[in-house]
Amino acid sequence: MSLFGYSNPIIAILREVETHEAIEICEALVAAGIEIIEVPLNSPQPFRTIKTLVEHFGDTIMLGAGTVLTVDEVESLAATGARLMVSPNFDADVVRRGVELGLIAAPGVYTPSEIFAAYKAGARTVKLFPGGGLGISYLKDLNAVVPTDLGIVIVGGVNGDNIKTWLEHGAAGVGAASSIYKRGDSKTVVAEKAAILVSALDNK
């Protein structure tokens, strides 16, 4: 079980994290076993935060941005040195530019048509969003027809109670937002939340 070559398939989504707290929050996540972290672009000064994290952690973890909507944002993200680009939607121009710049593109999709279009544009990972309400049977049906080299990450409604089930039934990874970080959470609270999710993986 791995995602992007990392042993832990959880993407920690730090929506609205502030630059001044980002390093200590991420250190708490890394200590808990989280290796993939995204800062959505609807956070305060997101590119500054991402660049700060890249400079601190280097390649020891995978860092990137979420809510990437435009080609200009793709180019600004690439300039930070981050490697992961996540979107809530599929935009072919955004995916293609991200791939051109060497980023891992994970666009948001909901239907088979969107998945195949994203694959054609160069994505090899897609974010099923909002995925939590679709159910395991929908994921299994998708995995029966999508290319074998494409991974589906579930985002939306992921928590300690269902993370194990998603991964056991074919998800390549999961994205955790409020179940791992809410604006204002201390590093202690984040560490506790992360421990719950990682423990759920360890209990497989």
- Could you give the residue numbers annotated as active site? 38, 127
Euclidean distance between the first and final Cα of the chain, in Å?
Answer: 11
Please give the structure tokens belonging to residue 29.
Answer: 């996540």
Tell the residue number behind the tokens 């909507």, with chain if given: 69
**Token pair for 11:** 């993407």
Q: Is 193 helix (H, G, I), strand (E, B) or coil?
A: helix
Q: Are 50 and 22 within 8 A, CB to CB? A: no
CB 66 within 8 A of CB 105: no
How far out from the chain centre does Cα 126 lie? 10
C-alpha 5/C-alpha 10 separation (Å) is 12
Supply 144's token pair.
């029966």
Q: Which two tokens stand for residue 131?
A: 């995925």
- Compute φ and ψ for 107, nearest 5 degrees: -75, 155
* Cα Rg, the chain, nearest whole Å: 16
